[in-house]
A = this chain, B = another copy of it.
Amino acid sequence: MARPRTAARTVEHPDLSEVSLQQVLEALVDPVRRLVVSQLARAGEDKSCGTFDTPVSLSTLTYHFNVLREAGVIRQYYRGTAKMNTLRTDEMEERFSGLLSAVVAASAPESSTTSPSSRRPPANPAATSPSP
C-alpha cells in the first residue's frame, strides 16, 4: 500500500508555450496522425482511441497518440476504461495561428488520398509462404 503506482489514470499534457513549431510539424507530417486529426476534427466530439479508422495496429496507434499529445495537438483523458481524445484547437490557434486549421483544411480533400511520397509499405513479413 501507500503506493498507488497508477496515479489514478492521469495524463500529462505540455503547456503549448513549451512546444516548438518543429514538434508540431513532426507530429502533423505523418499520414496516420493526420488521419487521426482529421477524423477528430470532423467528428465534432471527443473520440476514444478505439474508434479511429486507421491502417495500423493498435500498438502503433498508441504510439501515434503519444506523439500527438506531446506535440500539444490533442488532449487525452480517461473515461472508464476508454481513453478519450480532443483536439486542442483553440490553444493551437493561439500558439501557431492558422497552422492546424490549414492542415486540417488541406487534409479534408486528401483524406484517403493519403499518398505519402514513399512511406513504408506494410512490410508484411508473414506473407512469404503463400499456401498455408
Q: Are B31 and A114 in contact (CB under 8 A)?
A: no
Q: Are A25 and B103 in contact (CB under 8 A)?
A: yes
Closest to A109 in B: B21
Report the count of interface residues on A (CB-CB < 8 A): 26
This chain's copy number in the assembly = 2
Report B-chain residues with C-beta under 8 Å of the C-beta of A29: 22, 25-26, 29
CB < 8 Å neighbour of A114 from B22, B106, B107: B22
Judged by a CB distance under 8 angstroms, whether A28 is at the interface is: yes
Judged by a CB distance under 8 angstroms, whether A66 is at the interface is: no
Q: Are B22 and A116 in contact (CB under 8 A)?
A: yes
**Closest CB in chain B relative to A97 CB, distance in Å:** 7
Tell me, in angstroms, the Cα distance from A101 to B97 when the chains sit together.
10
Assuming the A-B contacts A21-B103, A96-B102, A102-B102, are A117 and B31 also in contact, with contact meaning beta carbons closer than 8 angstroms in the complex? Answer: no
